[in-house]
Amino acid sequence: MARRTVRQVVALGGGGFGEQVQADRGLEDTLLGLTGRDEPRVCFVPTASGDADSYVETMGDALAGRARLSVLRLFAREVVDLDAFLAEQDLVYVGGGSTVNLLAVWRAHGLDTALRRAYERGVVMSGVSAGANCWFERCTTDSWLVGNADGLRDGLGWLPGGFCPHHRSEPARRPQLQALVAGGFGETYAVDDGCALHFVDEQLVGPIASRTDARAVLVAERDGVVVEEGLQPAAGRPTAGDA
C-alpha cells in the first residue's frame, strides 16, 4: 500500500535560523527532523526581504553541516521551472520581511500555486514572521508602517484563522491584535519569538517552544470579551528543547 502524503506547515513567531540564537537550535533541529532525512534539502525563499544577500549568507551559515541549502530568488530570478525546482526539496523555509510585498511578488510569479503543489506532494512548508503570516487567512503586519501591527486579510489561506508573530517582543503587536479581534478580525494565533506552531493536514498539532518564556495563545472574542487561550503541545509531544 502506498504511504499517505502528509501536509505540514511550521509557522515561527520569530527567531529561527536567521537570528542564530543558540536557544533556538532545538526548534531548528525539530523543524529539520520533520523531513525524515539526515541531511535535508532546504529551499530558502527570501522574497519578503527583497532577496537580501546578507539574509542568504546568514542562512547558509546556520545550515552549514546540517542541510543542503538552495535559494529561490524572485527579484533576480534564475529558476525557470518552479515546480521542478520545488520537487527537489524536502523543506521550504520562508524568511521574514514584508508580508504584503511577499504575497504580491509570489502571485505575480505564480510561486503561490507552485508552492501549493509542492505542499500537496509532502514538501514541508515553514517560515518566520512574514514567512509564517503568509500561510494563514489573516495576519498582523508592519508592511505598511514599521512599528505598527495592521491587519491583513489577504493571506494564502492554506491554514484557517489569523497569525500574529512577535506577539510579546514588539510593543505594538499585542494591543493592536486585541483591538483587531475586538473589531471582528476573527480568531488569531499569537506566537512569541522562539516558538512555532506545527500544523499537519491543516490541523494544529501544537506549539513547539525553544525558549523557556516563549508561548503561543489563541486570541479570540468570547461573549464580547477578548481573551487569550493558551495552546499546549499535543499529548506526548516534546518541546523543541527536549527533542
Cell of 239: 518541546
> Catalytic one among 49, 143, 166, 167?
166
Sheet containing 216-222: give its strands across: 150-152, 136-141, 159-164, 188-191, 216-222, 225-230
Q: Which helix (H) or strand (E) holds 126?
A: strand 124-128
Question: Nearest to residue 47, comparing CAs of 116, 105, 134, 128?
Answer: 105
What does residue 49 show for φ and ψ, rounded to 5 degrees?
A: -100, 10
CA 160 to CA 66: how far, in whole Å? 32
> Catalytic one among 98, 126, 129, 210?
129
Dihedral sign for Cα atoms in the order 216, 220, 226, 231: negative
With contact defined as beta carbons under 8 Å apart, do 78 and 109 qualify? no
In the residue annotation, 166 being an active-site residue is answered as yes
Q: How far apart are the first and last CA of the chain?
A: 30
With contact defined as beta carbons under 8 Å apart, do 61 and 94 qualify? no
- Give SS3 for 19: helix
Catalytic residues: 129, 166
